[in-house]
Every structure is written in structure tokens, then in C-alpha cells.
Amino acid sequence: MHSLSIFAAATAALFGTTQAFIRFGCGNYLVEDRVDPIVDPGTVSGHVHKIVGGSGFSWKMDYADARASTCSSCPIKQDLSNYWTPKLYFQNKNGTFVNVPTVGDSAADMNGGMTVYYLQRGPNPANLTAFPEGFRMLAGNPNKRTYDGDFASQAVSFACLGTSNAETNGFPNYNCPGGLRAQIFFPSCWDGVNLDSSDHRSHMAYPATGAYNSGTCPGSHPVQTVSIFYEILYDTNSFANEWWGSSQPFVLSNGDKTGYSFHGDFVNGWDVPTLQKVIDTCQDPNAQGALDKCAVIADSLYTSNEMNSCRLTPQINEQIRGTLKALPGCNPVTSTAAELAAAKANPVCTDTSGIYNPVTTFTDYTSSGWSFLGCATDDGSSRTLTGASTVYTAGAGASMTIEMCASFCETSNFQYFGVEYGSQCFCGNSVAADRIPNTSSNVIGNCRMPCNGNSAEFCGGALALDLYKRCEAGQKCVNAAGYSSGNPATVSPDPGASSTSGASTLIVSSAAATPTLAVSKGMSEAVSGSVSSIASDSEEAASSVSSAVSSSYMTNSASASNSITATAPTTTAEVYSSAPSSQATATASQGVGKCH
């Protein structure tokens, strides 16, 4: 493992001191869903996306919606933008599909986001423009099935970590021990007028000369903006023993088996003056793009817990994880333009999915005199409920249920109880105002784990409490507005031929996930040192793991909270069927890639 100083020296030599940038890890996805407010506003999108960023993300979102976000799965509070890419699947020999998790997550694929770079590139990096209010764009082409060699094609690449192989523009036809890192560089030449265009690309352009990532803008698009670049590290190695046939088995959610159609979307949610200051002033002397070296934003970053708790409910009633008979949206697997055209002309199945009103599920306990308040955040060093707990009670964790926790707290007449991590019960007589769940927004929090003692009940999540309050005598016992009771063991819809049949929306995998630790560190567009995710076998261990990683690698803040995601092993799979048996393996990979 390279030390930070050696890594910094290597990257400084490659890029020089003028290659300024910021880089941050959006350690968790906001939602994974067939929603695309750029290409398909107000309607169901054609394929599943992995979406990170502000909670204002919605079907018809605009700049005002983005700025109204109450949280973000990315670290910078002044950046409420949304970033998304297609999801990756593994195709089995029998034709079924399994979701591919990001490195560091379990096979249940419950966590994992992406790394985003803002790069000061171009012939005059001192004179770059921030994206204006209302700006949005798309990079890549979901219909592409061949490599054309133009700048737009060069801007899509894949790094096979754990090998010495060069990056490729399509999926490599060999296994990647350290994971497959999908990468896309957005165009940075703007026409200076339009915030969007009919194809969501024409108002932007790649350079006319030089390279796709650094060159002179064409006269038609004279305004040089800051450059953005995405990385998503998928744990393809967890399928290493399941390859079949003569070609690689991975496919994007749009049905593309070549990888050439990898694409990304961006909706600006920045406070624009802040972004301009970042562009003008933030130059990390260590060439790490660390946020704590950028004074404009260093003191206004979300913690890991805040980012992890920023989750939206999927709004398409369909299965997107587990073993699928067809890709969501009925996207047949294609490798050529002719195959894609034939598939569109003669579809093999019909997508009838519709939008539904999202609800957050929990376990209703009003019949026993307790009302559900929502999913509250917790802190291992400063608990939300401080009266009593079962954390050190022998055998309690393995048999934890809502009833057990309520009874435990009722014995001492506590007014609140909360369950978290599937196994822990806490009691108290008060809750701090900043820990009361905000039920006025569509953010559901991180309470998605079934109870160890009853998989038909919910028991919070990692540093996330399913919080209950004793109902007052003589008053109606009512749960928090916007929540609907449910059962995590409900059977999810079988996609069958249409990928849409059935109405249930949640299922729990019965297979326990293996705790994993993975640290992804590589450099593509500048210096990639973000930690994709960390899974530990206890909430308390997560903080110590975070400290250890930050001391060995980089820190984007004093606590590294903006780039490290700590998550518990989970047995849930939201809106999905059981996860594949293969688990993400513990991996530590690092490399210096080509200069994008």
C-alpha cells in the first residue's frame, strides 16, 4: 500500500501544480429507480439509474426543487445537485440477471454511491465558469453500441483494478480482481445561452482541439466551464467464478453488453456563487482534491451519518435487485446497433410500470399504545435515547423484536423506545430536537433492517433508530404522517415477462450478509482516493475503521466523514428479492491510472 506522501508525489509529477480540482465521495446512493427528470420528465424512464445527491430529486425537478433539498447523499452542503448513471447487472447463463454491488458493499447491494470530481481544465483554467442556475446536461449515449473514436466516445472508459491492463472504452473481457471502475468525463464547452437542449447534449460540446478532457472550445461553444467526472467502482470480482461463454457477462441496465453506452446525467443544484469561488480558489497543494483544503466549503460538510440517512423511496413498483427474469423496463441484451434496432422494432416484453405514491414502511405498534415517530439518527458517542439499552444484554441482540424492546422499556416506564441495527434496543424519556425525525419531507432515512428475532418487523439500521413514543392516556394513538406500516418479508413482484407484475414493494433476503471492508483508491481524471464504502460488524467499529482508513489514505475533512461510508452488514433488500450468494470480498486497491 502506497503512503499518502508517495501517492501525492506521484500525482503531482503527473499533473503539476496547476491541475487543481476537488473530489468527493457520495458514499451512498440517494435512490435507485427508473427516474430521469432530464430525458423522461414526469414519466417512467427506460432503465434503472444509480442516483446520488440532493433529496429534491424528482420526476420533474427544476433548480428550485434541487435547492429545496433537505439533505444530500454527497458531502458539500452548498451542492444539492444530482448525479446519476445506469446500474450494472450480471447476466447468468440461464438468462436471468443479478444486480452488481459496489466494492465494499455486501451482495445485498444496499449501499454504495460514486465519486465526483470538479476539475479546472482547459487552456485557461484561471478563467472557468460555474454552471448557472437551471443548468443540466447528459454525457454519453445510451444507444451507442460501438466505439467511434471521437471525443465523446473517448470520454467513457473502464479501469480494471487489480490488473496492469490499460483502461478500455468498453467492458474488458477479463476479470478485475479489484473491481471494475466505470468512468465518464462530461463536456466542458458551453454555448453560453441554453441551460438545456432538446437532446440534452447540443448546448455543450467537447473541445475542438487537443483532447476530450483538455483543449480549446469550438467557436459555437466558447464558454469553458469547470469539468465534471464520475467514477463508480463495481464489485465485479464477486462474480469471478460465475463467468460463462466466450465474452464478459456484465450488462448495463439499458441492455448494453458492450459498455460503450455508459452515460451520466447532471442537474445543477449548487449555490452558484459558491461553486465559482471553489473554481477560482480551491487548489489542494497535495494534489488530492481534498475538501478540507478548500476553505470555501471545508466548514460546511455533511457527516457520513447524514449522507447515509438521505434516502428516497423508489417510486416504480418493480423489482430491481435480486434475480430478475428481465431487466427492469424490458431492455433486451444487445451488442450491436442492428440488435438494438431489432429489439426496439419487435419488443419481447411490455413495460407497464407506473408511478405510485411512495410510502415508508415500518412496524405498527399502536395497538399496544406506542406511536411511530419515524426514522431517527443516532450517534455511537452521543445516543439519541440515553435511559437504558440492551446492547450488553446477553442474547438480546439475536432475539430482538419490536415487542421485546417495548416491553424492556415499559418495565422502567420510559416514554420512548427505539430499535436499531436489527438487534439493539434503547429507551429514554426525551429526544433532542435535532434528533426528532423530519416527517414533512420525502426522505425515509436509513431504517431498513429487519429485526433479528422477527424478520417480519423493522428494527432500524446502522446508527438509525425506528423511534416510538408512548401514547398519552385517553388520546388516539397515531403514527407519524406520511408513513405506512409494512412487513419487510413481503414477497416482491416477480418480474416475469413484463417485469412489472405484482404489487408488493419490499422483501428481505434470508441470507446474512458477510461484513466487508473495502478501500478504493485510484487516480483517473486527477487523483482518485475516495473510499467507496466501509462495512463493519458493529456501529462502534465503523468509526474506528473510518479513522484507520483516513490515516492511511486521504481525508476530505478532519474526520474523513465526507468520503467514508460506514454501514452495517444487512439482510434486507429493499423492493427486491433475495440477493445472490456471492459476497463482496475485502479489497484494498490503489493505482495511478492514465491522465484523463
Mean pLDDT of 134-141: 98
For 343, the enclosing helix (H) or strand (E) is: helix 337-345
Q: Please tell me which residue, 50 or 592, carries the higher pLDDT value.
A: 50
Phi, psi of 302, deg, nearest 5: -70, 150
Residue 572 pLDDT grade (very low, low, confident, very high; cuts 50, 70, 90):
very low
CB atoms inside a 10 Å sphere around CB 214: 18
Average pLDDT (54-68) is 96
Q: What is the pTM of this model?
A: 0.76
CA 423 to CA 405: how far, in whole Å? 10
Section 475-501 average pLDDT = 51
Q: From CA 157, how far away is CA 524, in angstroms rounded? A: 10
Residue 258 pLDDT exceeds 70? yes
Q: Cα separation of 180 and 561, whole Å?
A: 24
- Burial call 537-566: b when 16+ CB within 10 Å, e when fewer: ebbebbbebbeebbeebbbbbebbbbbbbb
Residues 6+ apart with CB under 8 A from 497: 325, 326, 348, 349
Report DSSP state, residue 312: B
Q: Over 70: is that where the pLDDT of 378 sits? A: yes
Q: Which region among 126-130, 257-261, 329-333, 501-505 has the lowest average model confidence (pLDDT)?
A: 501-505
Degrees, nearest 5: CA angle 425-426-432: 145
Identify any residues that bridge with 114 across adjacent strands, giving them in sequence order.
26
- In the structure, what pLDDT confidence band is assigned to residue 4 with cuts at 50, 70 and 90? very low
Q: What residues are paired with 376 via a beta bridge?
A: 465
Per-residue pLDDT tens digits for 261-295: 999 999 999 999 999 999 999 987 777 899 999 99
Q: What torsion do the CA atoms of 202, 205, 208, 214 make, to the nearest 10 degrees?
A: 180
- 335 three-state secondary structure: coil
Alpha-carbon distance of 581 to 429, in angstroms, equals 42
Percent pLDDT > 90 in the chain is 60
**Quick one: the chain helix, strand, coil %, rounded to 5?**
15, 25, 60
Per the model's pLDDT, the better-predicted residue between 107 and 557 turns out to be 107
Judged against a pLDDT cut of 50, whether residue 86 lies above it is answered with: yes
Mean pLDDT (the chain, rounded): 79
Structure confidence at residue 38 (pLDDT): 98
What does the pLDDT read at residue 28?
A: 87
User: Which pLDDT band, with edges at 50, 70 and 90, does 166 fall under?
Assistant: very high
**Which pairing describes strands 114-119 and 227-234: parallel, antiparallel, or unpaired?**
antiparallel
The CA distance from 536 to 543, in Å, is: 9
- Provide mean pLDDT across the span 441-446: 80
Give CA–CA dist 291/24, Å, rounded.
7
pLDDT over 60 at 563, yes or no: no
Q: pLDDT: is 138 or 567 the higher one? A: 138
pLDDT band at 35 (very low <50, low <70, confident <90, very high): very high
- pLDDT above 50 for 340: yes
Contact criterion met (CB below 8 Å) for 566 and 60: no
Residue type present at position 340:
L
Mean pLDDT for 64-86 is 97
The β-bridge relationship of strands 388-389 and 483-485 is unpaired
Residue 19 has pLDDT above 60, yes or no: no
Query: Looking at the predicted structure, is the pLDDT value of residue 68 above 60?
Result: yes
Structural contact between residues 216 and 104, judged by C-beta atoms closer than 8 angstroms = no
Confidence of residue 529 (pLDDT cuts 50, 70, 90): very low
Cβ neighbors of 103 (< 8 A, separation 6 or more) are 112, 178, 179, 233, 234, 235, 518, 520, 532, 533, 584, 587, 589
Out of 342-356, 451-465, 509-523, 565-579, the most confident range is: 451-465
Q: Which carries the bigger pLDDT value, residue 433 or residue 533?
A: 433
Residue 310 φ then ψ, to 5°: -90, 90
Rounded CA gap, 547 and 539, in Å? 13
Percent of the chain with pLDDT over 70: 75
Q: Do 78 and 134 touch, CB atoms closer than 8 A?
A: no
| Separation CA 282–CA 276 (nearest Å) | 10
Which is it for strands 533-535 and 566-567: parallel, antiparallel or unpaired? parallel
316 or 60: which carries more pLDDT confidence?
A: 60
Digit-coded pLDDT (tens) for 341-368: 998 888 877 776 776 665 556 888 999 9
Task: Supply the Cα-derived Rg of the chain in whole angstroms.
Answer: 23
Distance CA 390, CA 451 (A): 14
Average pLDDT over residues 67-76: 96
Q: Give the residue with greater pLDDT, 547 vs 350.
A: 350
Most confident of the ranges 201-215, 338-352, 524-538: 201-215
H and E: helices and strands count for the chain: 8, 32
Cβ atoms of 132 and 268 closer than 8 Å: yes
Predicted pLDDT at 534: 26
CB 473 within 8 A of CB 539: no
DSSP code for 329: T
Which segments of 363-503 are extended strands (E)?
Answer: 370-377, 388-389, 416-420, 424-428, 450-451, 454-458, 464-470, 483-485
Residue ranges covered by each domain of the chain = 4-355+513-592, 360-481
User: Looking at 49-58, 376-385, 435-444, which range is the least confident one?
Assistant: 435-444
Find cell 491522465 and name the residue. Answer: 595
